[in-house]
Chain A
Amino acid sequence: MKRLFLVLAIAILLTAVGWALWPGLFSHADPLLGVPTQALQAPGAQHWFGTDQLGRDLYSRTVYGAGLSLRATLLAVLIALASGIVLGVLSGFFGGWLDAGLMRLVEVLMAVPALLLAMAVITVLGFGTLNIALAVGLSAVASFARLVRGEVLRWRVSTFVEAASACAVRPWTVIARHILPPVAGPVLALAALEFGSAVLAVSALSFLGFGAPPPQPEWGLLVAEGRNYMVTAWWYTGLPGLVVAAVVIAANQLARALQARQGVYR
């Protein structure tokens, strides 16, 4: 049963990545081309997700939207991952004042609600996909930094790390050879988890209008545009929303599976 969910989750994620990389393979309709006569049509054989008020194919818009949404998400997770690892290693391995200072900084980051922080950052930097990624990434740095620090602390006191130090292996070599490899596992699991919430955060921001400007298709934007037609055209908001939900849940499933595997090897 668990296996089945995992396979399903991976299939969903692969599809989403496929959409993002080669949208032309998945949809032949032009996402920007409106056919007024076909406005607000219900899902059917011709238009799988129906059409919007301008007669644009919603399936095609969702497929093309994956590119922008997932690019921002991926970038956000990478930013969070990289800076989280650097902060966590510095603070966990070297300790002392550096650790105290960095951790207070992280606590400040954690104290501000993530979405609020992201909105504040965007307000400063201006709109756009890259800025969304920066903002969402920044708000996820804290959890990566905390996790990495904890793991580094744990491995730093292990006997084989001490043995390496007693052989005069230099600190940075110790970190690269002995500490980062075991830390990678849990960090990857967290990355999968954060990927899910980043999809949501990016969509939320573009829903609020902080993302790419229309008529660019982006998942959050699609949901937002459909709000006015909720009663008459449920598919307009519903189906893109469902796609976002599916991707988030799939990422969560993957994260759990990765975590469970960790448990086995510990």
Chain B
Amino acid sequence: MSVQATPLLQVSNLHIDYHSAQGDVPGVTGISFELHAGEVLAIVGESGSGKSTTAAALVGLLAESARVRGGSIRLDGRELLGLGERQWQQVRGVRIGFVPQDPGLSLDPVKRVGAQLVEAMTVHGLPRAVARDRSLGLLREVGLPAVEQLARRYPHELSGGMRQRVLVAMGLANRPALVIADEPTSALDVNVQRQVLDCLQGLAQERQAAVILITHDLDVALQRADRVLVMHRGRVVESGAAAQVLRQPRHAYTRALLAAAPSAQAACVRQRSPAQWALAPILEVSGLHKSFATWRQPGPPAVDDVSFEVPRGGTTSLVGASGSGKSTTARLLLGLERADGGSVRFNGRELLGASRRDWRELRRQIQVVYQNPYASLNPRLSLAQIISEPLQAFAVGTAATRRQRVADLLAQVHVPATLIDNRPDSLSGGQRQRVAIARALALEPELVVLDEPLSALDVLVQQQILELLDELQQRLGLSYLFISHDLAVVRRISDRVVVMQGGRVVEQGVCEEVFSRPVHGFTQGLLGAAVGVPQL
């Protein structure tokens, strides 16, 4: 960390409100901080804490309803608040680079990534030929392989991690003095997460650029940042050197955050008695095979000879990097995709080749919870409509009894019954995921497939949902197939762990064994790459 007389960025007493029909809602209230060149500052906090509002103010991209009430943002001594859109264009992308949160939404789907990267430079006046040369260098710098071919691909042909790195490259394209990365890794698995963060951190050191890392992942903050700013309800509750803040937290909120963060070092907590292990497994998968390759687009199969089982009343976790075939496996089991070969036995009954009518009955017993509760609930329906949908589909009960059942289910997942007629948009992310779980439970299934149910949520909320899943499993005797890339979470919830790589199972076994004595090199790498391992 270099110490200079004048800081690169000075934010003082920034105050932003959001205008709404019910009056003004405070976004951030009086935050101040400074940032020097070559420094990495992490802003941590749960969603709604004002992290993203701060980031948006720094790049001049506040929502239309936002009102700046006061304060100042100075970059190199120049006031940024109150700049017009035209003046912003000379700052944004040139002096301040921005890496947005969602790689799925931030790239133009109909343009090749190389062209988009070149455009990021030519709009600021760089000649096309120079920009093209530099774009390949940038892609190489962020650690992407075979950049010439990659630049000619479209965003949908890249994995999430690759797209995120393309966005990092775009953020850095014009060699900005300040880079703001808004949750750059929250959707990525550990391996890719490490690469993207390495890349950001390396660039900060090499070019003496300042980096603001907005994240809800405390371990990322601890490892990557020089300083940490903890935000809660629009205020900075604690700030200082990363190690100091996160090792000796003074504020109660920081302590709560730290306590909630699952650690990969934690032991496997599940204890199954031999009698429980002796029960016949609820789901047996063997030799499952699926390939999306065609003669025009040859490629390795997405799921190749996958075999595992889910113990009755227990949890099996599928772990692996993105693109390892975890989700495809889940979709095959749910009958949403047709398998090419193998066998899936549920309660001893073969699922592959089951007819449409058979599947209808099976859906009562096998349910699914999706990764993103913002996408899996129809924003136009009320909670009552959403949760009663499966009941309606099977014509269970009358309208009145269905409503009663919805209320019961909401109580089971600890969502206030007063919200029954609300729409999902008035709920927090955690509450939405609870509603999604309630919908999955409506038909009293035996097996629930949980496809990355926590990765879109904050740490504190993750903790609560995990507890809820535990509680429901014990009370209702559910079996879970849990899909995740977060090893700390997997360790906490699983009885069995299945590690997948490139569509194949590379290792599987009882949770404790896999974690304490990983046999396969990939598993060892995965465990080592987990940024959750504190290294201080």
Would A166 and B378 count as touching, CB distance under 8 A?
no
Task: Report how far A163 CA is from B370 CA in the complex, Å.
Answer: 8
Would A165 and B439 count as touching, CB distance under 8 A?
no
A30 located at the interface, meaning its Cβ lies under 8 Å from any Cβ of chain B in the complex: no
B459 located at the interface, meaning its Cβ lies under 8 Å from any Cβ of chain A in the complex: no
Would A158 and B375 count as touching, CB distance under 8 A?
yes
Known A159-B370, A159-B372, A173-B393: A165·B336 in contact at CB below 8 Å: yes
Would A160 and B377 count as touching, CB distance under 8 A?
yes
Residues 154-168 of A, flagged 1 when their CB comes within 8 A of B and 0 if not, give 000011101111111
CB distance from B209 to the nearest CB of A (A): 34
Would B375 and A166 count as touching, CB distance under 8 A?
no
A28 located at the interface, meaning its Cβ lies under 8 Å from any Cβ of chain B in the complex: no
Contacting B389 at CB < 8 Å: which of A162, A167, A182?
A167
Taking CB atoms and an 8 Å cut-off, the chain B residues in 365-379 that contact chain A are 367-368, 370, 372, 375-378
Would B372 and A163 count as touching, CB distance under 8 A?
no
| Residues of B that sit less than 8 Å from A by CB | 334, 336, 359-360, 363-364, 367-368, 370, 372, 375-378, 380-381, 389-390, 392-394, 436, 439, 442-443
CB distance from B310 to the nearest CB of A (A): 17
Report A-chain residues with C-beta under 8 Å of the C-beta of B376. 159-160, 163
Would B360 and A163 count as touching, CB distance under 8 A?
no
Would B368 and A163 count as touching, CB distance under 8 A?
yes
Task: Report how far A105 CA is from B393 CA in the complex, Å.
Answer: 35
Q: List 24 A-B contacts (CB under 8 A).
A: A159-B370, A159-B372, A160-B375, A160-B378, A163-B368, A163-B376, A163-B436, A163-B439, A165-B336, A166-B336, A166-B363, A166-B367, A166-B368, A167-B389, A167-B390, A168-B360, A168-B390, A168-B393, A168-B394, A169-B389, A169-B390, A169-B392, A170-B393, A182-B380
Known A158-B375, A159-B370, A159-B375: A166·B389 in contact at CB below 8 Å: no
Report B-chain residues with C-beta under 8 Å of the C-beta of A178. 378
A177 located at the interface, meaning its Cβ lies under 8 Å from any Cβ of chain B in the complex: yes
Q: Which B residue's beta carbon lies closest to that of A170?
A: B393
Q: Which A residue's beta carbon lies closest to that of B380?
A: A181
CB distance from B453 to the nearest CB of A (A): 13
Task: Report how far A163 CA is from B336 CA in the complex, Å.
Answer: 10
Would A167 and B378 count as touching, CB distance under 8 A?
no
Would A167 and B363 count as touching, CB distance under 8 A?
yes
Known A158-B375, A160-B375: A167·B380 in contact at CB below 8 Å: no
Report B-chain residues with C-beta under 8 Å of the C-beta of A182. 380
5 additional A-B residue pairs with CB within 8 Å, beyond A159-B376, A169-B392, A181-B380:
A163-B370, A163-B376, A166-B336, A167-B367, A167-B390
CB distance from A162 to the nearest CB of B (A): 7
Taking CB atoms and an 8 Å cut-off, the chain A residues in 152-202 that contact chain B are 158-160, 162-170, 173, 177-178, 181-182
Would A169 and B370 count as touching, CB distance under 8 A?
no
Report A-chain residues with C-beta under 8 Å of the C-beta of B359. 168
Report B-chain residues with C-beta under 8 Å of the C-beta of A177. 378, 381, 389
Report A-chain residues with C-beta under 8 Å of the C-beta of B442. 167
Task: Specify the main secondary structure of chain A where it touches its partner.
Answer: helix
Report B-chain residues with C-beta under 8 Å of the C-beta of A181. 380
Task: Report how far A132 CA is from B96 CA in the complex, Å.
Answer: 59
Would A162 and B336 count as touching, CB distance under 8 A?
yes
Task: Report how far A177 CA is from B380 CA in the complex, Å.
Answer: 9
CB distance from A156 to the nearest CB of B (A): 13
CB distance from B438 to the nearest CB of A (A): 12
> Which of A162, A167, A168 has the largest number of chain B CB atoms within 10 A?
A167
CB distance from A236 to the nearest CB of B (A): 49
Report B-chain residues with C-beta under 8 Å of the C-beta of A159. 370, 372, 375-376
> Which of A164, A166, A181 has the largest number of chain B CB atoms within 10 A?
A166
Report B-chain residues with C-beta under 8 Å of the C-beta of A166. 334, 336, 363, 367-368
Contacting A168 at CB < 8 Å: which of B364, B372, B375?
B364
Would A169 and B378 count as touching, CB distance under 8 A?
no
> Which of A160, A170, A173 has the largest number of chain B CB atoms within 10 A?
A160
Would A167 and B336 count as touching, CB distance under 8 A?
no
CB distance from B120 to the nearest CB of A (A): 24
> Which of A168, A170, A181 has the largest number of chain B CB atoms within 10 A?
A168
CB distance from B234 to the nearest CB of A (A): 25
Task: Report how far A236 CA is from B528 CA in the complex, Å.
Answer: 86
User: Would you list the 7 A-B pairs with minimal beta carbon distance, nearest first?
Assistant: A167-B390, A168-B363, A159-B375, A160-B378, A159-B376, A169-B393, A163-B376
Q: Which B residue's beta carbon lies closest to that of A161?
A: B378
Report A-chain residues with C-beta under 8 Å of the C-beta of B390. 167-169
Residues 127-164 of A, flagged 1 when their CB comes within 8 A of B and 0 if not, give 00000000000000000000000000000001110111
Q: Which A residue's beta carbon lies closest to that of B443?
A: A167
Q: Which A residue's beta carbon lies closest to that of B334?
A: A166
Q: Which A residue's beta carbon lies closest to that of B360?
A: A168
CB distance from B187 to the nearest CB of A (A): 14
Taking CB atoms and an 8 Å cut-off, the chain A residues in 112-139 that contact chain B are none
Task: Report how far A156 CA is from B372 CA in the complex, Å.
Answer: 17
Residues 44-86 of A, flagged 1 when their CB comes within 8 A of B and 0 if not, give 0000000000000000000000000000000000000000000
Task: Report how far A178 CA is from B375 CA in the complex, Å.
Answer: 12
Report A-chain residues with C-beta under 8 Å of the C-beta of B392. 169, 173
Would B389 and A164 count as touching, CB distance under 8 A?
yes
Task: Report how far A19 CA is from B495 CA in the complex, Å.
Answer: 75
Task: Report how far A173 CA is from B375 CA in the complex, Å.
Answer: 19
Q: Which A residue's beta carbon lies closest to that of B385?
A: A177
Task: Report how far A163 CA is from B380 CA in the complex, Å.
Answer: 15
Known A162-B336, A173-B393, A181-B380: A167·B360 in contact at CB below 8 Å: no
Report B-chain residues with C-beta under 8 Å of the C-beta of A165. 336
Task: Report how far A173 CA is from B394 CA in the complex, Å.
Answer: 12
Known A159-B376, A160-B375, A173-B393: A167·B439 in contact at CB below 8 Å: yes
Task: Report how far A182 CA is from B381 CA in the complex, Å.
Answer: 11
Taking CB atoms and an 8 Å cut-off, the chain A residues in 235-259 that contact chain B are none
CB distance from B478 to the nearest CB of A (A): 16
Report A-chain residues with C-beta under 8 Å of the C-beta of B381. 177
Report B-chain residues with C-beta under 8 Å of the C-beta of A162. 336, 370
Task: Report how far A177 CA is from B381 CA in the complex, Å.
Answer: 9
CB distance from B381 to the nearest CB of A (A): 7
Report A-chain residues with C-beta under 8 Å of the C-beta of B367. 166-167
Q: Which B residue's beta carbon lies closest to that of A155?
A: B378
Report B-chain residues with C-beta under 8 Å of the C-beta of A160. 375-378
CB distance from B427 to the nearest CB of A (A): 14
CB distance from A168 to the nearest CB of B (A): 4
Task: Report how far A160 CA is from B443 CA in the complex, Å.
Answer: 17
Report A-chain residues with C-beta under 8 Å of the C-beta of B368. 163, 166
CB distance from B452 to the nearest CB of A (A): 12
Residues 89-116 of A, flagged 1 when their CB comes within 8 A of B and 0 if not, give 0000000000000000000000000000
